[in-house]
Structure formats: C-alpha cells, structure tokens
Structure 1
Amino acid sequence: MLELGITFSFEQMVMDNDIIKMVRKVLKGIEISDETLAVDVIDQVGAGGDFLSQEHTIKYMRTEQSRPKILDRQMRYAWKDKGSKDLTAVAHEEAVSLLQNHKPEPLTESVQAELQSIIAEAEAEFAAQMKKK
C-alpha cells in the first residue's frame, strides 16, 4: 500500500492472502496423536515402503498441508507446460477473476446495525473533539 492507502496492488493482496493462510496453518500447529503419528501404517508399510499411496497419507496431506490457491507447488516441467506464469501474473488473473465474479453475501441486519452504531459513535466523538478546538 502506498500514498496513505490511495494506491495499492490487487495482485499483492491476493498473494498476501495465500501467505496469511499458510502462516495461520503453521501457527495452528500439528496435531500429535496415535492417529496422526500412524505408527500402525509405518509398521505395515515398513522401511523403504510407499507411504504416498496409503489412504492415511492422502487423508492427512489434504487436511494438514497448507493449500495455497495461487502458489504453484508442481514440478518445474508442469509449471512450464502451463505457460511458465510467474506469481504476479497468476495473482493478476486471480484478482481480475475476483473483481469480475465474486458475489459477497450481504451482511445480516444485526451486523449492519452494529456497524452503523460504531460509525455514529465515531462521528459523534470526532464532532466533540472538533468543538473543543
């Protein structure tokens, strides 16, 4: 954001959203339990075995690994096959798509009323401060 918020980058906002999701995932931590440790799967597969094809691995990869929307974790050849777009180009496409297609749900009446109350309180406080000057 530049110039007191007058200038900002939609692309940077999209990138920051992915980064924030990944940071939140890290801060949440990793659950350690008998189920997540998968000692029984390790015993069953054994050293040097194929853990990636195990249902347990697939299940927890889907829930425990952060899943950014625009960051590409594929192999380089796959990235090249998709056009070799850099992060800014992908973020630009996502920002344009969001601006054109996103349909936010309206706020509930109670939330709208609470926001109006906050605004009215802030305006009254500002007016009182201006009178003091």
Structure 2
Amino acid sequence: MVESGMSFNLEQFVIDNEIGRSVRKTLEGMNVNEETIALDTIKNVGPGPESDFLGEKHTRDHINTQWQPELFDRNNWETWERAGKKTAFDRACDRVDEILETHEPKRLDPDIEKEVKQIVKKADKKYAKK
C-alpha cells in the first residue's frame, strides 16, 4: 500500500468493489439443471455463426443470471474503440464523479453516532501526537 495506508484513491475503491461483486457472484456458484442447461433451446437454435439465442424466450428469462460488469468492458476491440476506448479506470473516474454528485448518505442513529464520537475522543487522547 502506498504510504502504509496514509493515502487512498476513490477510483481504486470503485474498482475493488467491482472485483468484489465478481467474486461474490462466482462464489454463489451455478445451478446446473435441465432448465439452466436449456438443451431444447440449443437444439432448436442449432449450431453455427448464424445461430441467434438472443431472440429466445429462455435467454430473455435468464439474461440477468449472469454477472454484468459495470466497469469492465466485454466488447470486442473494434466496438470498444468506437465507444470511445474507455478503460476500467476511466469508467471508475466517471462512477466516482457520479457518486460524489448524487450520493445521499444515511444518517447514523443518534445513539450510535454519540458512541462513535466517544470512541474517537478516547482514541484521540490515547494516540494523538502531543
């Protein structure tokens, strides 16, 4: 860590969150059964470069089961270039700006806030440079 944790980067937090989302989704595992395998749909559509699963009801019903990245681009090179060549860091910068502009933090319960302030005050007395 840079400077032993004395500095931080908001964009890195956003990227780390994206990686965490991916790991959580992976750890959920996959349901493998007749419905998720969709053998009937595969047989109906058939093999080949002209095969199109996007129009199939099964695809529409299950489209949200796959993890969808917010920062990482899954497009091919040409599509990525046409879209402006934004890197994951570029998207993280945009996301940080969006969060800073729109986020409304939830207020702590007053009792919890009071307790946190007491903890900080005690730590300041113990660890603050004199």
Instruction: Give the TM-score taking structure 2 as reference length.
Output: 0.72
Aligned pair in 2 of structure 1 residues 99, 123: CA closer, same or farther (>3 Å)?
Answer: closer
> Which sections of structure 2, spanning at least 5 residues, go unmatched?
none
Aligned to 2:100: 99
The residue identity in structure 1 corresponding to 2:70 is K
Tell me, yes or no, if the aligned pair for 1:30 and 1:64 is still in contact at 8 Å: no
Aligned to 1:39: 39
Q: Secondary structure at the match of 2:81?
A: helix
Query: How much identity, in percent, do the aligned residues show?
Result: 33
Q: Distance in 2 between matches of 1:44 and 1:38?
A: 10
**Where do 1:69-80 residues align within 5 Å?**
69-80=70-81
User: Larger deviation: 51-60 or 65-74?
Assistant: 51-60
Q: How many residues end up aligned between the 2 structures?
A: 123
Is 1:85 aligned to residue 86 of structure 2?
A: yes
> Superposition RMSD on alpha carbons, in Å?
3.0
Query: Deviation of residue 78 (structure 1)?
Result: 1.9
Query: Deviation of residue 16 (structure 1)?
Result: 0.9
Q: Distance in 2 between matches of 1:84 and 1:123?
A: 45
Q: Deviations over 1:86-112 (max 9, x none)?
A: 2222211211221122223334x3xx5
Instruction: Give the TM-score taking structure 1 as reference length.
Output: 0.71
Q: Distance in 2 between matches of 1:17 and 1:88?
A: 13
The residue identity in structure 1 corresponding to 2:5 is G
Aligned to 2:11: 11
Q: Distance in 1 between matches of 2:21 and 2:111?
A: 30
